[in-house]
Amino acid sequence: MFADFAKAISQLTDARFRSVLLKGIGLTLLLLAAVYACFVWGLSLFLPDTVTLPLLGEISLTVALSIGSFFVMLLLSVFLMVPVASAFTGIFLEEVSEAVEDRHYPGLPPAPRQSMGEIITDSLAFFGVIVVANLVALVVYLLLNVAAPIVFYALNGFLLGREYFQMVAMRRLGREGAKAARKRHMVEIWVAGALMAVPLTIPVVNLLIPVLGAATFTHMFMRLEGQRIANGAP
């Protein structure tokens, strides 16, 4: 799987892939801003409008969050980039996978196009599972203290690996074939997802990970299932 990531990194020399990467970073920032806005709105439902701080006196939480919103957003991206990466798959994974396949697997026939409705439905379903799972896990994080990061990476590694591999595999194998492939390689997919979750918690670096993650899982899928596809196996 490290070789898969190395291949994704090496394609940065490809002008087409760099274009995809730049668009992906822009989309990631937009998604992050949207998730951040929802997060702040959610906080406003449970927190008071103003707080009193030493030396500063009474301040508005809304104003405080707005003043340094970009930097606060980057800081909160340590937690918010996991759902952002999940939302990214349905919007941009097709273009990333196509760029990877054209460069590294030119002999493949074109992948059948999925309907936009199907892509959006699957993406929303995965996104919902990740959000709900992490909200439930908040209790566990608070109870475990020092061990909380291990649970965070294990949980989100499983969920992100499952989503990215499933979405990549569906392009070539269809829904049922993708599920079967995921079950065949569950442990490796989980580990790859956990390795992806780690840099997602590093501000600025995490902006690159949705694109590089999609490219890495495309390589991973071809390494694990490429021979079956060549042999015409389901």
Mean pLDDT of 68-87: 76
Q: What pLDDT, on the 0 to 100 scale, is given for residue 32?
A: 81
Tokens 């449970």, residue located: 46
Domains held by the chain: number? 1
Q: What pLDDT, on the 0 to 100 scale, is given for residue 142?
A: 78
Whether the per-residue pLDDT at 29 is higher than 90: the answer is: no
Mean pLDDT of 191-216: 91
Which pTM value belongs to this model? Answer: 0.82
Whether the per-residue pLDDT at 57 is higher than 70: the answer is: no
Q: What pLDDT, on the 0 to 100 scale, is given for residue 89?
A: 79
Q: What pLDDT, on the 0 to 100 scale, is given for residue 134?
A: 85
Query: Which residue range forms the structural domain that includes residue 14?
Result: 2-230
Q: For 138-190, write each residue's pLDDT tens digit.
A: 888 878 777 888 989 999 999 999 999 999 999 888 889 999 999 999 999 99
pLDDT band, very low/low/confident/very high, at 53 (cuts 50, 70, 90)? very low
Q: What are phi and psi of 52, to 5 degrees?
A: -105, 125
Sequence-ordered list of residues with C-beta below 8 angstroms from that of 62, at least 6 positions apart, any chain: 40, 44, 49
